Amino acid sequence: MRWKKIILWMVVGIFTGIPLWGCAPDLEEQLKPFQVSYFRHKLMNVAFSDAQHGWTSGDQGLILATKDGGKTWSPQKSGTQHTLRAISFIDAKRGWMVGGAGTIIKTEDGGQTWKPLNSGTKDDLMCVKFLDDKRGFAAGAFSLFLRTEDGGQTWTDMTDQFSEEKESVVDTTGMSMEEKMAALKEEFAADGGEEEGESVIPLNPMINEIFFISPLKGWTVGEAGSIWTTGDGGMKWVKQKSGTLEDLFGVFFKDENEGWATGLNGTLLYTDNGGKTWKPQASTVVQSLFDIAVSGDRGYAVGNAATMIETKDGGKTWKEFKPPSIQSYSWIRGLTVIKDVQDKYVAVGGLGTVMISNDGGITWEKIS
């Protein structure tokens, strides 16, 4: 029995980085943070309704909630085993999450109970945004875009606004999706970008993120460089020219003019006119960037292989930033800046990673 304990101790040390010296009680104490943070789970997103109340979601229907600004996290019962990819809370009580196989769940008591809503689809949902207790949006695979005017009880399908198929000069007959994308990217590069009346955006690109800066003005980003914007609260969406065919995962605006989009292979785009024109910025990394947030002069984007980049001049320039004590093979998937405390950032990712900065990103604490 003693040898079994020693072997178990060594295995835990290898996979967690916990030192192998000390006695069993010490080991138990060191393991407590990992038990609280669900060490083996992938955390996909994070959202705070205020400085104290926050939620993170992940694989196998995992939900963790905090009531003390992220110092401690407790599990909540989601009622689903599907991966929960996105979160939207309008206050400390009312929130929604979406995920695999068309999953939408809602809470009206801060997550003590979650109830399923009927999305009307089995396609994966990648993002969700509610503007108030009635109006909200959910989007995902195959340009699926849903709108609700009753808190999620019923949903209207708006996919046709996002799945316009236009002609390309390349004959892609008989090609696989991978071959089509390669051919279209080659055409796009040769032509120097999109021309008027011509598009190389593939049919039905996945929508990965929805962002609203006000009740009327918002943007979505997705596969193949797709960006769409609305100025009427999400009733009508218009495509913008991103200048790239790389998949886009994250979008963030400081105001109605200045914003950024992040994506595959270190893609970082910037606009200072609400997306009328988008220009590439040097991210200084090649890893995919999943999410971004900017507040004042400081901002961060997060991605694959524990990648973080930071700006100290309001997003004019970016450089790689080394986060604290994160395994290089992990990834950071979700990032938020707390709307009521503009200098507080929270990031989550693989291996149950939760990181918090309370000073605008100058210092970061790895909670788990």
Q: What pLDDT digit, counting tens, does each position of 125-162 carry?
A: 999 999 999 999 999 999 999 999 999 999 999 999 99
| Nearest alpha-carbon partner for 310 in 264, 360, 272, 359 | 360
Low-confidence ranges of the chain (pLDDT < 70): 1-40, 164-203, 324-329
pLDDT at 176: 60
pLDDT at 128: 98
pLDDT at 331: 86
Residues ≥6 apart with Cβ < 8 Å to 4 = none
pLDDT at 322: 84
pLDDT at 34: 36
Between CA 45 and CA 290 the distance in angstroms is 10
pLDDT at 368: 74
Q: What angle do CA 11, 16, 22 make, to 5 degrees?
A: 70
pLDDT at 15: 41
pLDDT at 27: 31
pLDDT at 180: 60
Residues ≥6 apart with Cβ < 8 Å to 306 = 323, 326, 327, 328, 329, 330, 331, 332, 349
Residue 83 in contact with residue 102, Cβ under 8 Å?
A: no
Instruction: Give the distance, in angstroms, between the CA of residue 231 and the centroid of all CA atoms in the same chain.
Output: 23
> What pTM was computed for the model?
0.82
pLDDT at 182: 66
17: exposed, middle or buried (C-beta count within 10 Å: 0-12, 13-18, 19+)?
exposed
Residue 354 in contact with residue 37, Cβ under 8 Å?
A: yes
